[in-house]
């Protein structure tokens, strides 16, 4: 399972997203079934995986995508990860501020963002990663 990059000191909301992202990205084949994908996410304790696509592109598929598909009647043994993956990959650069990335998550309606450096996904950041930083910064102001 990817581990968050340790931060020796509490990070501020204007600190780099690199400090809280999970380094590395779990990738799954586009032709994995929803059942298998759910098992992988559960086993690794993560909420999303990256699907490599042709021409170096990628997509993210999340637990939310699985639940939505199942609620719409998808057969978990017949529907592929690629069928439910978000087509528009939302990304951040590793030095972007945590607060800015959190704002992008809210604006785009996503809970996972791929962190990209020089065209390569180097990690994934989730709402679960940024929330403690934002909460700590809010509490520090009171």
Query: How big is the chain, counted in residues?
Result: 142
**Which residue's structure tokens are 């963002």?**
113
pLDDT of res. 13: 81
* Residue 81 and residue 32 in contact, taking contact as beta carbons nearer than 8 Å: yes
* Residue 29 and residue 104 in contact, taking contact as beta carbons nearer than 8 Å: no
pLDDT digits (tens, 9 = 90+) for 25-60: 899 999 999 999 999 999 999 999 999 887 778 899
Q: What Cα–Cα distance (Å) separates residue 120 from each residue in 42, 76, 117?
A: 25, 30, 5
Ordered by where they begin, the domains of the chain are 17-140 (3.10.580.10)
* Residue 128 and residue 47 in contact, taking contact as beta carbons nearer than 8 Å: yes
pLDDT digits (tens, 9 = 90+) for 101-132: 999 999 999 999 999 999 889 999 999 999 88
pLDDT beyond 50 at 88: yes
pLDDT digits (tens, 9 = 90+) for 65-76: 999 999 999 999
Q: DSSP letter at 34? A: H
Residue 80 corresponds to which tokens in the numbers above? Answer: 């592929």
Cβ burial, residue 71 (10 Å; 0-12/13-18/19+): exposed
Question: How far, in Å, CA of 62 to CA of 76, rounded?
Answer: 14
pLDDT beyond 50 at 9: no
Contacts of 67 (CB under 8 A, 6+ apart): none
pLDDT beyond 60 at 142: no
pTM here? 0.81
């Amino acid at each position: 399972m990817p581990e968050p990059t340790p931060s020796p000191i509490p990070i501020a909301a204007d600190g780099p997203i690199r400090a809280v992202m999970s380094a590395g990205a779990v990738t799954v084949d586009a032709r994995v079934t929803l059942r298998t994908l759910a098992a992988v996410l559960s086993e690794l304790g993560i909420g999303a995986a990256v699907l490599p696509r042709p021409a170096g592109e990628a997509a993210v598929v999340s637990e939310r995508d699985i639940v939505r598909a199942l609620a719409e009647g998808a057969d978990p043994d017949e529907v592929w990860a690629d069928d439910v993956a978000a087509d528009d990959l939302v990304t951040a650069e590793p030095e972007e501020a945590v607060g800015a990335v959190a704002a992008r998550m809210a604006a785009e309606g996503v809970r996972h963002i791929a962190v990209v450096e020089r065209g390569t996904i180097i990690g994934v950041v989730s709402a679960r990663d940024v929330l403690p930083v934002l909460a700590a910064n809010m509490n520090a102001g009171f």
